[in-house]
Structure 1
Amino acid sequence: MNVFPEPPGGPADGAGTDNWGGTDIWAGDGIDAQWAVTDGGQMAWRYARSVQSPLVDIDAALKDGAWAVSIEACATALRGIFYCRMVGAGFRGITSVPELHLRLAADPSPVATALRELPWSGTVDEAQARAAAAVVARHDAELRRILPFELPEIRTAGTRGPTIRLTAEISRWRAERKLGPVDWNRAAL
């Protein structure tokens, strides 16, 4: 069960797609503006809410030698990256935690596989924790490559204002193009 199918009309040879079958918005003739302010905007907001904080936690845990905490933060980041990919691929609605875990257990995607392959946090050592953090960093870089924009870090001092201004700007842009109001029930943009 792959939750990231090839987009309709996508190239059969994979050119212009990322390794998930999702469209690489920076390839070819430019950015798909409608996707950027709909699914792409939702994906960027989900990234800010679900991925940025665990990345900070991974770095802090590694610095402190808290290997188990680092693995738990890696798992949280990978779940967030997976969810971002779902949203960017057009997922609508809010998934429950059990539904997300079921998708993660069955999905053959690289992120779901990486999550399932994380070492158990109860017996993890430094080398395993650092290797897991490197895997997360690779998946994060791949996701960031296709984000239409990045929101300022929400959890960092002084960034709430810029994040709110950016979301207001996206809402205005959507309204001008008659894309409808922001759907706050999606816990995103």
Structure 2
Amino acid sequence: SISLGIDYKTVPVNLLEGAHRKPDYLKINPQGFVPTLVIDGRILTQSLAIIEYLAEARPECGLLPPDIVDRQKVRALAYAVAMDIHPICNMHVVSHIATMTEKADAREDWMKHFIANGLRKLEAMIGDGDDTFSFGDAPTMADLCLVPQVYNARRWGVDMTDFKRIDDIDGRCAELPAFQAAHPDRAAENSLPAATH
């Protein structure tokens, strides 16, 4: 399982209430996006950049495999989610869709279409191998990107029937304490008033 052995404090930023657009948050993350990580005296933004920082700063954690070709494969899987699915299904993008049409279910149709299309391609990239996770037998950066996207897919009602490998991997991740601790529902239960990390 993934464990970086780092003590941390999670501070939720409520996007629905616009906490990411408040001046205090914009001081630490001018883009107004989440996440923001304050670690080792530095402010880090952008999910993948944060994950790659952790992978490089603490290589023993296994977020990226030691072999260069294997690292490329893990990055390709992670990037397929973070750069191909996530940007067009981000809240600020899908909110804009509602301003362009009066179709009541335009947002839902958009999300289902692009998430399902992206997951279909990701399922093919992962393949039918017998790896326990997206790549290999331990979670990697690819799984850190996959799990939140599967959560989002379910939230929007995407039919997961055709994504057996993805569903299996997500289920195995859900059994691990690190993934359980990071689950969005748990973050909501432990909501803190501050808007910085």
Give the TM-score, by structure 2 length: 0.28
Question: Which structure: greater strand fraction?
Answer: 2
TM-score, normalising length: structure 1: 0.29
